[in-house]
Amino acid sequence: MASISPIMRQLGCLRPLLKTPESILGRRTISTAYTPKPDAVPLPSKLPKTFMSQLPTQLRPDQAPKKLKVYPPPASARNTCKDPVSAVTQSQLSTLDPTGERKALFDYRRNPRSVKPGDILRVTFKNGDPFSGVCLSIRLRGVDTAFLLRNELTRVGVEMWVKVFSPEVQSVEIVQRSEKRKRRARLYYMRQPRHDMRSVENIVSNYLKKKSALTGQRRERR
Amino acid sequence: MSPRLPRGLAQLPLALRAPKSIPTTTACHYMPARTFGIKSVTTPKPSRFNVGPDLPILKSTPAAALERKANTLPLRSGAVAIKKGMTGIYDAQTGTRIPCTVLQLDRVEVVSHKTREKHGYYAVQVGAGWKHPSNMTKSLLGHFSAQGLSPKRHVYEFRVKDESGLPPVGQMISADWFQEGQYVDARSNTKGKGFTGVMKRHGFGGQDRSHGVSLTHRSLGSAGPGQGGGSRVYPGKKMAGNMGNEQNTVQNLKILKVDAKNGIVVVTGAVSGPKGCMVRIQDAIKKPWPEVPAAAATEKSA
């Protein structure tokens, strides 16, 4: 065997470049060697039925897992009505407040002409017993929208929550608007003796007198 | 004294038979032949159990349990609804405000039946909502597919009195299954409160704020007697633990409003659980059963 000439031996440094990826793989340890999963050998196309029993059950063509038919869901009420609570509220309001007048009267967030905390209101009820007082707060809750009135009866402070859309409420009048815009939404500080407005009966009776003079009708007392 | 065979004769057949006969063949050989036409001379013993077609049903049998329950089982199935929230409704006559809970029915369908013959009782399995089939086990998916139904997220059972209360499988239960003015029982899980102490969970009084009490103002105190009481904590002792998220039934809720198009059912008062929880509503067992028009029932099933 002829030995490589000393000149050619210099080229031995190029030998690693000629190495194929397989030889690199071959140097890896056996635990990390990747062996691809062998492809399944297909069954003979014309396998006689008598040999079927020799196959494991999962390989038999007639034992293949059946595909379940999944049925589509019917139309959902959740899509037709996304918010049932407001749907119930709206159907209520359409009978209790068809014109939307009461809603607008207390919608202080959107309507600039609405009732605001600090206004003096007079409410008449179906049973004919009016109540007047200064509005301390307005609670906007759909059909449960309500306002709090404070007054003084027989020198005792009295407060009353009135539901705006209650069929018991016949009318709500604004007796006097507050001169300045209140800087609070809830005027609970008016319960303190220092800020208490005491009785508003005088203001209300003056208003009623003026009103009867304008309309030319005699109103009931108080 | 009994006569004895001579020693040589008695031992000879055993010694001869042992090597050549197989035990199985000998067993067959010595089997007695079947006898025909001979009956026992003793009369058959009466059964130890006091059961028979002409005897009253025993109290501890399933049949007796069903009979006892017959009066308190509703005649027809209920429905699964989602709690949507609370609001108020003004009564048209009196003008008073009635607090109410709004429930919504979402694709409620009859999934299958439980029958006396197969399961021991009559019940209607009702499914609601929709679940993506890939999120479902194949066995459950097959249960729905076999009935020709879409996969349901919520499946519940409603017990009924007899087979006349089993609507056909696949029937849609809409909101007009219930009538305005009828009473229902609402069954749902209460709001979970997590791990709570005894004061919140069982209403214990707690301990003093002062008078020498230190660091145990809300604890339960003693868990039981010592020597003489068994020196152990009795089973069922009320202690701190998980509170809420357990089933609760609110009985006799009046149905105020029914809207079949939107699947809305409005009932009086409060129903246990948070908004969005599943509520099972069925005819109230403490009120007379509602009169269901037969025409409406057949129309729905068709």
* Burial class of residue B23, CB neighbours in 10 A (0-12, 13-18, 19+): exposed
Whether A70 sits inside 8 A of B90 (CB atoms) is no
Helix %, strand %, coil % of chain A (to 5): 35, 20, 50
Percentage of chain A modeled with pLDDT above 70: 89
Q: Is the pLDDT of residue B276 over 60?
A: yes
DSSP for residue B102: E
Domains of chain A: 85-215 (2.30.30.790)
Rg (CA), chain A: 45
Cα–Cα distance measured from residue A149 to residue A136, given in angstroms and rounded to the nearest whole number:
6
Q: What is the ipTM of this complex?
A: 0.75
Q: In whole angstroms, what separates CA B235 from the centre of its chain?
A: 25
Residues above pLDDT 70, as percent of chain B:
85
In a 13 Å sphere around the CA of B173, the CA atoms on its Cβ side amount to: 30
Chain position carrying tokens 């905390």: A117
Nearest CB among B88, B100, B263 relative to A81 is that of B263
Domain map of chain B by residue range? Answer: 74-193+243-301
B105, B144, B150 member nearest A77 (Cβ): B105
The confidence band for A18, taking pLDDT boundaries of 50, 70 and 90, is: confident
Q: Which of A191-205, B37-51, B119-133, B141-155 has the lowest mean pLDDT?
A: B37-51
pLDDT at B16: 45
* B98 beta partners: B89
Residues 87-106 (B) with a CB less than 8 A from some CB of A: 87-90, 95, 97, 100, 102-106
pLDDT value of position A217: 66
The token pair at B5 is: 């065979």
Q: What is the pLDDT of residue B300?
A: 47
- Model confidence at B94: pLDDT above 50: yes
More confident residue, A63 or A212: A212
Residues B67-87, mean pLDDT to the nearest whole number: 95
pLDDT at A185 over 70: yes
Q: Is the dihedral of CA B49, B51, B52, B56 positive or negative?
A: positive
Q: In this structure, are residues B253 and B269 in contact, taking their beta carbons and an 8 Å threshold?
A: yes
Tell me the nearest-neighbour CA distance from A129 into chain B, angstroms.
16
Given this model, what pLDDT does residue A30 score? 63
The mean pLDDT value for A167-171 works out to: 94
Tell me the pLDDT band of A20, cut-offs 50, 70 and 90.
low
Helix (H) or strand (E) holding B110: strand B109-114
CB A187 within 8 A of CB A159: no
**pLDDT for position B301:** 47
CA distance B36 to B27: 22
| Cβ atoms of residues A147 and A161 within 8 Å | yes
Q: Scanning every residue of chain A, which has its alpha carbon at the shortest distance from the alpha carbon of B134?
A: A70
Cα distance between the two ends of chain B: 93
CA-nearest of A72, A71, A91 to A81 is A91
**Gap from B130 CA to chain A (nearest CA, Å):** 7
Q: How confident is the model at residue A42 (pLDDT cuts 50, 70, 90)?
A: confident
- Chain A to chain B, count of Cβ pairs less than 8 Å apart? 96
> What mean pLDDT comes out for the span B143-158?
96
pLDDT of res. B12: 46
- Which of B109, B141, B257 shows the shortest C-beta gap to A88? B257
Query: Which residue out of A67, A69, A70 would a mutagenesis test of the B interface target, given it has the greatest number of B Cβ atoms within 10 Å?
Result: A70
Please judge whether A167 and B144 are an interchain contact, meaning their C-beta atoms are less than 8 angstroms apart: no
* Residue B275 forms contact with A (CB below 8 Å): no
Is the per-residue pLDDT at A127 higher than 80?
yes
Q: What is the pLDDT of residues B219-253, one digit of tens each?
A: 999 999 999 888 999 999 999 999 999 999 999 99
B211: left (phi over 0), alpha (psi -120 to 50) or beta: left
Ranges A198-212, B32-46, B215-229: which has the least confidence: B32-46
User: Average pLDDT of chain A?
Assistant: 88
pLDDT in tens, A83-105: 999 999 999 999 999 999 999 99
- For the residues B151-175, what does the mean pLDDT come to? 95
Which residue in the set B102, B145, B261 is minimally distant from A70, CB to CB? B145
First to last CA, chain A: 134
B176, B260 Cβ separation under 8 angstroms: yes
Helices and strands counted in chain B (H then E): 7, 11
CA B58 to chain centre: 22
CATH fold group of domain B74-193+243-301:
Elongation Factor Tu (Ef-tu); domain 3 (2.40.30)
State the average pLDDT over residues A25-30: 60
pLDDT band for B33, please (50, 70, 90 cuts): low
Between residues B145 and B295, the one the model is more confident about:
B145
Residue A41: the pLDDT is 83
pLDDT band at B299 (very low <50, low <70, confident <90, very high): very low
Share of chain A above pLDDT 90, in %: 64
Residues B135-147, mean pLDDT to the nearest whole number: 95
**Cross-chain Cβ contact A168/B95 below 8 Å:** yes
How confident is residue A16, by pLDDT bands cut at 50, 70 and 90?
confident
